[in-house]
Amino acid sequence: MILCLIPLPNWVGKPLALGWIDDTPVIGLPGYSVAAWMCLHNFVKPLIRRRLGLAKEKRHELRARLQRKLPSTAGTEETLRVVLCDDGQQRTVVPLARGSSSISSLAQAHGLLTIAQEQEGLETGTEVAVELLVPQARIERSIVAIGSHDLALATLAERLAERWPPLHLVCLSTGSTEGLAAIARGEGMVAGTHLLDPETKQYNISYIQRWLVDLPLVMINLSFREVGLLVSPGNPKGIKAIPDLTQEDVTFINRQPGSGTRVLLDFLLKEHNLSPTAVAGYQREAYTHTMVAEAIRQGSADAGLGILAAARAFGLDFVPLTEEQYDLVVPKRFLELSRIEAMIETINDATFQDTIEKLGGYSTRQTGEIVFEQ
């Protein structure tokens, strides 16, 4: 038996091992899913092609512009998963979640952006080369939606693909605040938002007037949805209202700062004169309603604030609290794109509206209407 290991440079992700035992290749990959895929893509795949006598694979690239600063540590080459937003006039980069365990970012990615080891990040406005993971035509047919997570938005993506098969709605769940910030930066075409103004009790408008005041846009209602406390089947802790979250035997799971659900929770706590520190688990964060529901189903949390549709999808009990307004913010410069026209037509489609109402807790009484314009 002969063991031959290939020495790898220091910037290669670890742990990674390549070698042979006699004529048998030996490959050791990292345990995290994205790290394992990256090693397969960058090292194992080229090795296999070389052993098979195949030519080096030609990797296609597109040029695109950064709309935000991307920090990185000098001395380490970093590869980011990204989505490209192409409206026919300009092409921008939307970075996805970093981290070697974020498999959803790999599934959503249009391409890979590499920051060289000698660079301490990239500045706003930099034009970069993105290695494509999907055909360019898919990027040109994509609608990039950034903002709040919602099951109705996922249903819209499915319905849009059924009615207009070439089109693809990319839904990036970053939270309502980040969705509006992305639109302000010029990333994305649509922002999903449900931000309650504690002073006016209105949704979204005051935030738009504060952060997007100079941007011509429309706000289209997607739905109204019932929000409440998701609890384990049978509600074993007897949770009936917000004050019950302060019980010693109740563990909560929260949403991330900047999400509309987090804003609503803080408003409800203040209404009951409760401090966030009184809620065990307030600092524990999840990025979607389904992540909250899954944590409760698995028993790692007793309650979380979320939508009725998520409770039904995961077989949980639900304590209703309020109804909130979920809207889509679209800059006017995108309204003439056939992709956006198809999306709006689909939102107004009776089949789509009927489908989301069947999810539970959704009202389509204003779905498809422009509820604000500037």
Q: How many CB atoms lie within 10 A of CB 40?
A: 16
Q: How many CB atoms lie within 10 A of CB 247?
A: 16
Is 141-374 in CATH node 3.40.50.300? Answer: no
By CB atoms closer than 10 A (0-12, 13-18, 19+), residue 286 is: buried
What pLDDT, on the 0 to 100 scale, is given for residue 1?
Answer: 47
What pLDDT, on the 0 to 100 scale, is given for residue 10?
Answer: 44
What pLDDT, on the 0 to 100 scale, is given for residue 357?
Answer: 97
Q: Is-cis flag, bond preceding 216, omega within 30?
A: no
The pTM of this model reads 0.90
Rounded to an integer, what distance in angstroms lies between the CA atom of residue 279 and that of residue 341?
A: 44
In one-letter notation, the amino acid at residue 58 is K
Rounded to an integer, what distance in angstroms lies between the CA atom of residue 328 and that of residue 219?
A: 6
Where exactly does CATH 3.40.190.290 map onto the chain? 141-374
Reading the block at residue 106, the tokens are 């790999």
Reading the block at residue 115, the tokens are 């920051």
Where exactly does CATH 2.40.340.10 map onto the chain? 59-140
Give the 3-state secondary structure of residue 162: helix
**CATH code of domain 59-140:** 2.40.340.10
What pLDDT, on the 0 to 100 scale, is given for residue 14?
Answer: 59
Question: β-strand 252-255 against 17-21: which pairing, if any?
Answer: unpaired
Q: How many CB atoms lie within 10 A of CB 15?
A: 11
Rounded to an integer, what distance in angstroms lies between the CA atom of residue 279 and that of residue 231?
A: 15
Rounded to an integer, what distance in angstroms lies between the CA atom of residue 64 and that of residue 168?
A: 19
Rounded to an integer, what distance in angstroms lies between the CA atom of residue 293 and that of residue 310?
A: 6
Smallest Cα–Cα separation from 25: which of 7, 46, 47, 43? 47
By CB atoms closer than 10 A (0-12, 13-18, 19+), residue 90 is: exposed
Tens digit of each residue's pLDDT, the chain (374 residues): 445 555 454 444 557 888 778 878 888 888 888 888 888 888 888 888 888 899 988 889 999 999 999 998 888 888 899 999 999 999 999 999 887 667 788 889 999 999 998 888 999 999 999 999 999 999 999 999 999 999 999 999 999 999 999 899 999 999 999 999 999 999 999 999 999 999 999 999 999 999 999 999 999 999 999 999 999 999 999 999 999 999 999 999 999 999 999 999 999 999 999 999 999 999 999 999 999 999 999 999 999 999 999 999 999 999 999 999 999 999 999 999 999 999 999 999 999 999 999 999 999 999 999 999 99
In one-letter notation, the amino acid at residue 155 is T
What pLDDT, on the 0 to 100 scale, is given for residue 98?
Answer: 80
Q: How many CB atoms lie within 10 A of CB 63?
A: 10
